[in-house]
Structure 1
Amino acid sequence: MIYAVWVPLLIPFLAVPAARRLADALPPVRAVRLLAATGIGLALCSVLALALLVVPGATRFPAVSALGELVRPLSEATPAVAVPLAAAALALLMGCAAAVARAARRHWAELRPAGRFDGYAHGELAVLPDSRPDAYALPGRPGTPGRIVVTTGMLRALGPAERAALLAHERAHLEGRHHLYLAAAEAAALCHPALRSLRGPMGYALERCADEAAATAVGDRRVAARAIGRAALAARAAEGARRTRPRAALAAAAGPVPRRVAALLGRNTARPRVGRAAAAALLVCLAVSGAAALDATSDLHSSIEAAQGEAPHH
């Protein structure tokens, strides 16, 4: 355990460079799924590793040893090393739990406005009387429908075909439940600092998924690319619109728009070899991290049984 327990804490630093290549090298749907699995898997392994670091140092306290019926501490390190290490690991665990809880409450609160709008609302579409161009998909709480929110300013900035592409883009976000992938990436980032770098590739891959869905819906990739480009230019001219957009919302004008437009126009095609290599590297990192966490857990369990086995029988 002394070596294996550190592996899940170090692997994320090796996985991030490969993850950054996935968004452009793989089809967007596959990239999203692999990024989500990698982020969640590595985060869980790192949290488990921190928990495993707490237990040996905690057995230095008589109350904990008595509770576990141990006659000796599990850690062979001196108390001056084992106890501070356990305290640091426990503090990190508590910090992660508090941060994830705050993020979950904020995300839940941001989903509340999905059913309340001052403007015109019909079905999934809500039109706000605002001259500032903006459009986004606002998911609803479980059991309630989400909304495609668009301002009158954005509707005036686009032509009929472009409006159809924009609405198809936002509809794809709602139907794909893309906000859950973003929430998972955010939670993983709160569990390990290296995983913060996954949020950018995840956001880009999700926008690419919606871009492809919009192109399929309107039957013209150039129209979809033009709609995204014009929507981004219009929204950039009205910076105030971004400040009123909930964090849980996904917008067509977000992210690296030039890269997305180039991908729609076929100027930035997927690279299968690079994608397969990056995917293989991520899967190896995930497997190594999981195996190390399981090995450390098994070692700790064996140590506990050994310490309990030395207790006198009555």
Structure 2
Amino acid sequence: MHLAVYLPLLFPLLAALSAGPLASRLEPRLATWLLTAAGLVLATSSTLVLGLLALAGLVRIPLVAALKDYSPDVIAREDPAAWPAALAGAILLTLAAIATVRLTARRAGALWSAALDAACMPGADSVVITEDDGADAYAMPGLPGRIVISHGMLDALDADGRNILLAHEHAHLRHHHYAFVTLAQVCAAANPLLRPLANAVAYTVERWADEHAAHHTGNRRAVAETVATAALATKRTRNRRRIPTVALGMLGRPAKPGMVPRRVAALLAPPPHNPPLLLLAAGVLLAASSLCALEAAHDLHQFLELAHAH
């Protein structure tokens, strides 16, 4: 347990360093699925080992050992985790649990509010046109979801640009991109080292929608021009209207510095491929994290069985 229990706490750092290259070099749909799955695996593994460290320290308390009929001599001899590590594990586990519960509750409330807003919008069509002069467009999750476009955005785009915009927003709704973003954010709440991974998912869902629009129209350059035009129109009109935090749109929600130029550059480049070595390295990292967490759990289980038997 001494080695295996600490490695899953370090693997998220490697994932944070590799999130950018994965987001840039993989096909966006695959990158989104892979990064989200990686966040779930790494957050679960690191949370599990924090729990194991806390439990290893807990059984060293005489009262707890007496209640569970554990042998103090075996516990003292085997020493599954040093006190500082066990205490740190308990503190970090508590903080992770609080942050995860708070973010989950906040995101659930935001999704529910967005679904209600979408259901209350006028008309039965999935596209809602507002009278706002500011340029904006975004997709709101719900049953059904809605695409909200302002008159300012429509005025800024030509007919082809509007078609691209609709294809982009429909991709957000059809593929439930808000769910990927939410899961990645929850993982980052459980382990702050995964914050770059969550930011990468926010980027790859926009790239996914961009590539969907490019496939729909057959013109990657036109999609790149539309993304740039929409960004300039939004900056020029300075629309200050409140936008739901769970909304996703042509410019990203929330917009990250440099996201639009990166997307435009990606659209002007050849379509991305999936380097086998990069996928293999990501698979090895996830497998190693899972195996280390399971090995640590097995070691602690054997230790507790030994302490109970004596």
Q: Same fold (TM over 0.5)?
A: yes
- Cα offset, 1:8, TM superposition: 0.4
> What is aligned with 1:270?
272
Residues 249-285 of structure 1 deviation map (CA, whole Å, 9 limit, x = unaligned): 11112352222223223x254354xx33322222111
Whole-Å separation in 2 of the counterparts to 1:78 and 1:296: 14
Identity among equivalent pairs (%):
40
Residues 69-118 of structure 1 deviation map (CA, whole Å, 9 limit, x = unaligned): 21226365889x84453333222112112211221222122221344378
Q: Secondary structure at the match of 1:49?
A: helix
Select the residue among 233, 245, 248 that pairs with 2:246: 248
- Cα offset, 1:246, TM superposition: 1.9
Q: Secondary structure at the match of 2:249?
A: coil
Whole-Å separation in 2 of the counterparts to 1:290 and 1:116: 40
* RMSD value, Cα: 2.3
Residues 37-68 of structure 1 deviation map (CA, whole Å, 9 limit, x = unaligned): 11110110000010000112111223321332
Q: What 5-or-longer segments of structure 1 have no aligned partner?
A: none
Q: Identify if the C-alpha distance between structure 1 residues 8 and 282 changes in structure 2 by more than 3 Å, giving closer, same or farther.
A: same
> What is aligned with 1:128?
130
Q: What 5-or-longer segments of structure 2 have no aligned partner?
A: none
Q: Identify if the C-alpha distance between structure 1 residues 76 and 178 changes in structure 2 by more than 3 Å, giving closer, same or farther.
A: farther
Whole-Å separation in 2 of the counterparts to 1:27 and 1:258: 18
Whole-Å separation in 1 of the counterparts to 2:158 and 2:29: 28
Q: Identify if the C-alpha distance between structure 1 residues 63 and 157 changes in structure 2 by more than 3 Å, giving closer, same or farther.
A: same
Q: What number of residue pairs does the alignment pair up?
A: 302
> What is aligned with 2:261?
258
Q: Identify if the C-alpha distance between structure 1 residues 268 and 63 changes in structure 2 by more than 3 Å, giving closer, same or farther.
A: farther
Q: Identify if the C-alpha distance between structure 1 residues 183 and 113 changes in structure 2 by more than 3 Å, giving closer, same or farther.
A: closer
Please say if residues 115 and 147 of structure 1, whose CA atoms lie closer than 8 Å, have aligned partners that are also in contact.
Answer: no
> What is aligned with 2:303?
303
5 Å-filtered alignment, 1:48-87, equals 48-72=48-72, 74=75, 76=77, 82-87=82-87
Q: Secondary structure at the match of 1:70?
A: coil
> What is aligned with 1:162?
161
TM-score by length of 2: 0.89
Residues 170-228 of structure 1 deviation map (CA, whole Å, 9 limit, x = unaligned): 11011111111111111111122221111222122111110111122233333322221
Whole-Å separation in 1 of the counterparts to 2:10 and 2:40: 15
TM-score by length of 1: 0.88
